[in-house]
Amino acid sequence: MSNNFIEMIEQTPKLRSKKCKIISFILRIFLQFSTYAATLLVWYMYDYFMAFFALILSFIIMGIVRSKLRNSVIPPKQREYQYNDKGIADWYTAKELCYGDEAP
């Protein structure tokens, strides 16, 4: 007789304090728009040809940053699920930066 149980997953943490919400928002904006900001900066300083390669390089670098943040705070059983930038920022802020501030 086999008992197949679905393991409980943790929900994305709810941030309660204003400080934690602001930190999460800033992290989310960084994850979403730093690729384009870096590309525009290179385009302004050099030319569009270099900006194209900066865009490709920044996509790769931000993908690595997202995966490192995601894998450092999300429980191992939930890593197969897809998380957007807001989810990653909320998890990271709740687990690493505001761990003692949040009450369950």
- Confirm if 11 and 78 have CB atoms less than 8 A apart: no
Residue 40: predicted pLDDT:
94
Structure confidence by residue, pLDDT tens digits, 37-57: 999 999 999 999 999 999 999
- Domain extent listing, the chain: 18-95
Q: List CB contacts of 76: < 8 A, sequence separation 6 or more.
A: none
| Residues 16, 74: Cα–Cα separation, whole Å | 19
Q: Residue written as tokens 């890593």?
A: 79
CB 96 within 8 A of CB 69: no
- Confidence category of residue 78, pLDDT binned at 50, 70, 90: confident
pTM of the model: 0.78
Give me the mean pLDDT over the 8-21 stretch. Answer: 83
The tally of CA atoms less than 13 A away on the side-chain side of residue 4 is: 0
Mean pLDDT of the chain: 86
> Which segment of 2-11, 44-53, 92-101 scores lowest on mean pLDDT?
2-11
